[in-house]
Amino acid sequence: MQVRIPNELYDQFKKEAKDNAQTPSLLVRKWIEEYVENNKK
């Protein structure tokens, strides 16, 4: 999956994830799983 976001936003996201002992990919996977679960029909 490719996502276009400004470099500054991505850098801040990586920093915040690291500060919270998370990886960016883990957070994105979790968000996708939550979205799918919340939008099941």
Q: Distances from the Cα of 14 to the Cαs of 4, 7, 18, 36, 41, in angstroms?
A: 15, 11, 6, 24, 33
Element (H, E) at 36: helix 24-38
Name residue, tokens 């099941």: 40
| Residue 30 belongs to some domain of the structure | yes
pLDDT digit string, tens, across residues 13-36? 999 999 999 999 999 999 999 999
| Residue 1 belongs to some domain of the structure | no
- Residue 41 pLDDT greater than 90, yes or no: no
Q: What is the pTM of this model?
A: 0.75
In the 8-state DSSP scheme, what is residue 16?
A: H
Per the prediction, the chain carries an average pLDDT of 95
Domain span at residue 29 reads 7-38
| Residue 21 belongs to some domain of the structure | yes
Query: What domain count does the chain have?
Result: 1
CA distance 38 to 10: 26
